[in-house]
Structure 1
Amino acid sequence: MIRPVLPTLFLTAWAAIASATPAPDAAAAGPQYIVTSMQTYQGIHAIAPIAQPRRDSLGTPLMLVQADARQQARITHYVHEYEHRCGGYFAFDSLADAEAFLAGEKTAEAIAAPARGAYTIDNQATVDAWLPQVGDLAIYETISHLSSYRNRYYASPYGREAAEWIRDTWLALAGGRADVTAELFTACTNCSTQPSVILTIRGAELPDEVVVVGAHLDSINGQSTNPEQIAPGADDDASGIATITEIIRVAMAGDWRPRRTVKFMGYAAEEVGLRGSTAIARQFASTGVDVVGVLQLDMTNYKAGPVADMKIISDYSNAALKTFLAELFDTYLAPLGLTRGSYACNYGCSDHASWTSAGFPAVMMAEPGDTQAPFFPRLHTTGDTLANMGDSAVNSAKFARLGLAFVGELAKTAAPENDTIFGDDFDTAPTGR
């Protein structure tokens, strides 16, 4: 255990949190453990002082911190209020599980992994037909529904109800196709009663190669652990789930048959330590699933002022996949007059970090925020509503187009069954299909 001396700024920050925000409503659980950066720990030491130093495969100084549910809630609040970002840590329900995570993490490998040969832009026939079909009204309606729940907190009945609604909605968009399945992923030991959602479109030609597009489905209000809290979470992250829903709608309406398997995911319990995505990524790693690329969509609907339309997260992402995402943007969205930027989100900022830590190539594109901060200023409050985002889903529609370009160009499009030109030699064909 170490107890570093804190700068006055951090002590002042914690005093403000403790005095301005009421204690959590739920009883604190027993000992739990989080892994966070040393930088973040300097600010949360007064909240959870029992900690041990660690490093990831990049050599980044980390801290393994003992923190019960109430302390974790306050840590989440600190990261939002004083580091001006989301996430910030991975959470585990035992010391052994946290140590296993650290022992098996492969961040350095994931960041440096070369392109798999799939990062090509040559499937315009599919993608160009999709982009005009994106509609912001359908996205608006999905955000409106998801933010109508009292909350989607991982330990509330509403959190599970929302997950079941997402599963049913996504599956309905598939129109009964035999190659499409939906499931509730429950193999997460610290996700309480909230499952993650996975919709799978089986690849017609390369089914063992997997493309993932994900967003988290839970919501939270400040540092509360009360399952009856008010947390609409319209931007964070109903907007990401709604964006994925629109991607599925457009692709399925055209009877798309991808070459590679595509998995759309709604992650449980992101707001309390990336729990759902970590469980899935670790399971995929342990079972040898061949993931060729992951796209994370966490908050897509807020833009105010003269800022770029979207920003690539520059850190804890695969370098080749970031280049590919930028090329997708420049090919398909820049001609529409959109602009892009980038920013660093730091350690454990969203679910793409779970995939990176497990050794998979992952990337995240996020909303631009405004001139003051790179995200919606009302997240984690009762004010995270559509009304406070211009009562519109126009910004999320941009991300739906990017997501369609991502799956269209990474999963490609299978040759028709009656295609006598390509047949068994499709892999050597010069087109991108």
Structure 2
Amino acid sequence: MGVRRRLAAVIPLAVAEIVATVSAHARGTGSPDAETVYIVTARQTYDAAGLLAREATAWKDSLGRELVIAQLDPLQIGALSRHVHEREQRCGGFFAFASRPEAEAFIVRDRTAEAIALPLGGLYTIDNQATVGPWLAQVSEANIHATITTLSAFRNRYYASPYGRQAAEWIRDSWQALAAERDDATVELFQGCSNCSTQPSVILTVRGAELPDEVVVLGGHLDSITSAFSVPVPDLEQPAPGADDDASGIATLTEIIRISLASGWKPRRTVKFMGYAAEEVGLRGSAAIANRFRDDGINVIGVLQLDMTNYRQNVGRDLRIVSDFSNTALTTYFAELFDAYLVPLGGVRSALACNYGCSDHASWTSAGFPAGMVFEAGRPQNPNNPWDLGAFQSIHSTADTLANMGNSASNSVRFAQFGLAFAGELGKTYDGAEDAIFSDDFEVVVD
């Protein structure tokens, strides 16, 4: 249950008049960011961003973490977005809603503490080497590079621009082509997000042959953004290549899909691959899907998020496992999978805390599902900057290009191998045998 108290009553009159003028102008343009947005963010982020909000109230989530609900006009949304992107050097950082009741309901229904503590170790086994092992050598850097090239060639993939929808449709068509020979696979555009403008999410579902009601999810976000969009009236023609953030994640997912489906793999559990809409403006697409799954009682047993997989500079690691806002048993499983499959290939892992709501896995965690994220190797972190996550410093700019990552997708190869291990081991392989070798006594249902 969220705890609420008043933070600030009214911003100064002069500022209020400026904001009102900006908002009125934006509404007159029909801009998708014209209307007031209600955000939920960490109190630390809210304070550091220096926001002035007409109605800001303090809350706590199920972990006791200090949060803020604030009514923001476009000017303040831009300031918050720039702070998260430029100072905290990460994606996400806040959840966005169309109304205060929606934002309050989100905190009241928060299941983060429950999701983190779910004891699912009995489900997280490693015994499917016969399927996973042959997959790993098939990962193609050239394929991942080609997908990143195509996605970053869209003028932008901003959620409210026509290019944002075109990119989603291109991903749908690409995934449909990879699943064309499979009668157990379907691809859809998920359009059940009320604040994602015209950008849908993309979902490819491979139905489980034995335990179809147990669901495994692998996802990444398909939209892109630059600081030029963080203004009251964004120019929807602004370039935002987003090669690392997050064309690399979608390209990695696409390679996982290609290899696993081409092998003839039939999972025992249902496996869903997702390209989320509107992550960069408040985790909107993933929140809509996770909340729908919660309301429908869908039994999701594990979620892997791939957000930025391709940047590595002067570090000895290949991949970092995000420790916060993640299910404890699942992050332990991530480490075990990495050690079983990637360490023998020379892989090196480390850990990372990425702060509140840093990507789409946070939507699943807040909805009560076990979720986690792996993040790119990055660069050495600045010990004098507590916000520095060692991320690619060109994210959210026109310089987020393959050219600025050595014109190579080699760093994403490890992530594709890891994702294949996750999908194969948690989805398992159906061989027609009646004596299932793993238990079906576990159920994760969020009511």
SS in 2 for 1:166: helix
CA offset digits 1:187-210 (Å, max 9, x no partner)? 000000000000000000000000
Q: What RMSD in Å do the two structures reach over aligned CA positions?
A: 1.8
Task: Establish whether residue 394 from structure 1 lines up as the match of residue 404 from structure 2.
Answer: no
Partner of 2:20: none
Give the Cα–Cα distance (whole angstroms) in 1 for the partners of residues 145 and 438 of structure 2: 42
Distance 1:31 1:89 in 2: 15
CA distance in 2, matches of 1:242, 1:109: 32
Tell me which residue corresponds to 2:375: 366
Count of residues in Structure 1 that have an aligned counterpart in Structure 2: 405
Match of 2:225 among 201, 217, 220: 220
Amino acid at match of 2:331: K
1:239 and 1:309 map into 2 onto residues whose CA distance is: 15
Residues 27-426 of structure 1 aligned to structure 2 (within 5 Å): 28-48=33-53, 50-115=55-120, 117-224=122-229, 225-372=234-381, 373-416=389-432, 422-423=433-434, 425-426=435-436
Question: What whole-Å deviation, never above 9, does each CA across 1:104-163 have from its counterpart, x for those lacking one?
Answer: 110000000011622000000000010000010000000000000000000000000000
CA contact (8 A) 1:3 1:45 kept: no
SS of corresponding position for 2:58? strand
Matches within 5 A, 1:8-23: none
Partner Cα separation in structure 2 for residue 345 and residue 409 of structure 1: 26
- CA distance in 1 between counterparts of 2:35 and 2:176 reads 38
What do the CA deviations read for 1:56-95 (whole angstroms, capped 9, x no partner)?
Answer: 0001110001112342222111112122222110000111
Q: Secondary structure at the match of 1:133?
A: coil
The one-letter code of the counterpart of 2:192 is A
Decide which moves more: 217-226 or 26-35: 26-35
CA distance in 2, matches of 1:200, 1:406: 16
The equivalent residue for 1:15 is none
**In 2, are the aligned partners of 1:313 and 1:363 still within 8 Å (CA)?**
yes
User: Which whole-Å CA distance do the structure 2 matches of 1:85 and 1:72 have between them?
Assistant: 16
- Indicate if the aligned counterparts of 2:46 and 2:80 stay in contact, CA closer than 8 A: no
What is the letter of the counterpart of residue 344 of structure 2?
P
Q: Give the superposition deviation at 1:308.
A: 1.1
Paired with 1:296 and 1:74, the residues of 2 have a C-alpha distance of 26
TM-score normalised by structure 2 residue count: 0.88
* Structure 2 unmatched runs, 5+: 1-5, 10-25, 382-388, 440-447
Distance 1:86 1:426 in 2: 41
The 3-state SS of whatever aligns with 1:245 is helix
Aligned equivalents of 1:70, 1:205: Cα separation in 2 = 51
How many Å apart are 1:2 and its aligned residue? 2.0
TM-score with structure 1 setting the length: 0.91
Alignment check: 8 A CA contact 1:367 1:374 kept: no
Note if contact 1:116-1:292 (Cα within 8 Å) is conserved in structure 2.
Answer: no
Q: Compared with structure 1, are the counterparts of its residues 62 and 428 closer, same or farther at alpha carbon in structure 2 (3 Å cutoff)?
A: closer
Question: How many Å apart are 1:428 and its aligned residue?
Answer: 6.1
Q: Which runs of 5+ in 1 are unaligned?
A: 5-22, 417-421
- Contact 1:52-1:65 at 8 Å conserved across structures: yes
| One-letter amino acid matched to 1:426 | A
- Please state how far the C-alpha of 1:375 moved relative to its aligned partner: 1.2
